[in-house]
Chain A
């Protein structure tokens, strides 16, 4: 039995998927794989808010794994394990 990884949605992304979080089954997966599974779990497409057509992170997108930005780790290849929390933010600004 796979463990659970929590995926949280913030900002415009949340309005798009209409939920604040989903639980995704997974033991040890890449962020990219996790995002695909999260789309299914959320029951609606949203990856175009975060990735471009080449599946690269769009500028301004923030993905945190347990509070750490994946850009400082292995990007979309960063491993996520059961029990982790992944937070997704579409580009935002303010002051």
Chain B
């Protein structure tokens, strides 16, 4: 079977029972792999949504048909029900772990049950072994990876949790290949709930390619396109993602002090340009990636990865902090403890506004860089104020009586673009299946960066079609699985071609878009069963009622409801956001 290793293993950590899950060619055609297949298998058999910490909640590690093949294909997706949002969730991570899993002869793992004592999984030669992890429990992510490699093989790629995941912090990340994170949605907490400390994979099995000659031509062409493209061939390499700091700030939509303003006066000091001049040691890259958007950095006393754009913002402008060293070291700490930096920063921003309004009497002050590390560490161990911070902003704000001060959608913190500055991005946040996230439909590309076309960011017209389209393409790329940054250089036709040469199966562009739509709709169906509806496709009232006062997005608010009506119509969902029977029939759901 070209593209796939042909083995998905389901394992119950409680009973230690394991079986191989057969997936038909038809299902692979309809859901690809990664996110799509993960969500499909999560829903099989169509379960009543259960508590994310219930042992029966499946935690799925899934690769795609392209994993381990061409550039940027080291990625994998983690799929489960999120303890942070209660939605279906998939979280993506780079590095090499995805490729290593296939090298070990396995396309994916479905983990259920709860181990009595801490364990880790070792995947080699198509077999999954459960090993004792008592000695690993309590270690940070870096030490865990080293210890597992010492036991298995120095070449093993290890995905693991740190103390945050062990303590079930609701936004704990799964970390792999040192500092790569499946960050969003608390997949690390689900892992911790299962007493699963790590998954290690090693092996040299090759992915079979259906059309080697066509594949070779195509990848040579892809190399040239990516190299010649100014974003993938230059900007991301030299300046990383934080090049966006100055751009988004100049558009007056760089969220400052918990989204109260859109201009951060000290943005320059936390920008990609500044990082390149100061902390940057070298660029770093995932498996077979010629782009290498990662940043290996060092401060006077520490060394690590990041910050990338979202983190430079989450611990920077969002908290009124411009001390780049403090931001980088908080980032390193999150990597070591296994925490999602966006939700961590979003929650701290909420805490600071709660304090300022007098709703929470703890000593959180804007701009206080000196305590950042303590707050992050306390969160991972749920001690002191960290016990509340570990809940994420939504629960924190509700607990202190000011729910409107949490900048979240469906319980997930909104990242580094104020939706008042880009109406399409606002709709994208509101309709994201996993909550306030920018990765379902990255409308910043057309609305700010002019890619692939330039759109008026303040207009709501036509945004619904485009958001739906972007959501569908993204679902395809997340299921293939390739890195989303390739989208700056190539479109759906290229993804269809790569899929064809690797798997030997043919998808027309239209069929592939339908695959994306099917995945998006299946996720939506789960959320509806879990009780989500139109009322949850919402934004915090700040964005609907308060205008930004300064900068080039001033006097703007989000006009959500009309766009939402358009969006449901485009999607073939009814007024409450429920897919119509005819829509489901068209998608074969």
Contacts and interface: CB of A to CB of B under 8 A. Distances in A.
Contacts of A95: 241, 309-310, 438-439, 442, 444, 484-485
Q: In the complex, which of the residues B250, B276, B309, B439 has the most CB atoms of chain A within 10 Å of its own CB atom?
A: B250
A60 B238 contact: no
Contacts of A72: 456
Contact of B247 (A58, A59, A71, A89): A89
Contacts of A66: 552
A11 interface: yes
Contacts of A67: 250-252, 551-552
A82 interface: no
A94 B230 contact: no
Contacts of A10: 243, 246-247, 250, 273
A64 B250 contact: yes
A67 B448 CA distance: 12
A93 B273 contact: no
Interface string A3-27: 0000000111011000010000000
Nearest to B263: A67
Contacts of A1: none
A87 B551 CA distance: 13
Contacts of A12: 234-235, 238-239
Given A59-B451, A62-B247, A95-B485, A90 B552 contact: no
Given A67-B251, A87-B250, A11 B239 contact: yes
Contacts of B454: 69, 71
Interface in B243-268: 243-244, 246-247, 250-252, 268
Q: How large is the interface on B (under 10, 10 to 19, 20 to 34, 35 or more residues)?
A: 35 or more
Top 10 A-B pairs ranked by shortest CB distance?
Answer: A67-B552, A94-B241, A93-B231, A91-B230, A94-B244, A92-B235, A93-B488, A92-B243, A10-B246, A94-B309
B445 A93 contact: yes
A2 to B, nearest CB: 25
B118 interface: no
Interface in A36-95: 58-62, 64, 66-69, 71-72, 87, 89-95
Nearest to A64: B250
Given A10-B247, A94-B293, A95-B485, A64 B240 contact: no
Contacts of B485: 93, 95
20 contacts: A11-B235, A12-B234, A12-B235, A12-B239, A15-B276, A59-B451, A60-B449, A62-B449, A64-B552, A66-B552, A67-B251, A67-B252, A71-B454, A91-B230, A92-B235, A93-B232, A95-B310, A95-B439, A95-B484, A95-B485
A92 B244 contact: yes
A19 to B, nearest CB: 12
Contacts of A69: 454
Q: How large is the interface on A (under 10, 10 to 19, 20 to 34, 35 or more residues)?
A: 20 to 34
The secondary-structure label for the interface of chain B is helix
Contacts of B238: 12, 15
A64 B250 CA distance: 8
Nearest to B250: A87
Contact of A60 (B252, B272, B450): B450
Interface in B173-228: none
A12 B444 CA distance: 19
B243 A94 contact: yes
B236 interface: yes
A60 B241 contact: no
Contacts of A20: 268
A69 B451 CA distance: 14
A22 to B, nearest CB: 16
Contacts of B310: 95
Q: In the complex, which of the residues B252, B309, B551, B552 has the most CB atoms of chain A within 10 Å of its own CB atom?
A: B552
B230 A60 contact: yes
Contacts of A87: 250
Nearest to B484: A95
Contacts of A91: 230-231, 235, 449-450
A10 B444 CA distance: 18
Interface string B518-556: 000000000000000000000000000000000110000
Contact of A11 (B273, B293, B448): B273
A58 to B, nearest CB: 8
Given A60-B450, A93-B236, A93-B241, 12 more contacts: A11-B235, A12-B238, A20-B268, A67-B551, A87-B250, A92-B231, A93-B231, A93-B243, A93-B451, A94-B240, A95-B438, A95-B439
Contacts of B273: 10-11, 14-15
A45 B242 CA distance: 25
A20 B271 CA distance: 13
Contact of B239 (A59, A64, A92): A92
A71 B236 CA distance: 24
Contact of B451 (A11, A60, A64, A71): A60
Q: In the complex, which of the residues A14, A20, A68 has the most CB atoms of chain B within 10 Å of its own CB atom?
A: A14
A21 B571 CA distance: 46
A74 B62 CA distance: 49
Contacts of B235: 11-12, 90-93
Interface in B462-509: 484-485, 488
A94 to B, nearest CB: 3
Q: In the complex, which of the residues B240, B247, B268, B308 has the most CB atoms of chain A within 10 Å of its own CB atom?
A: B247
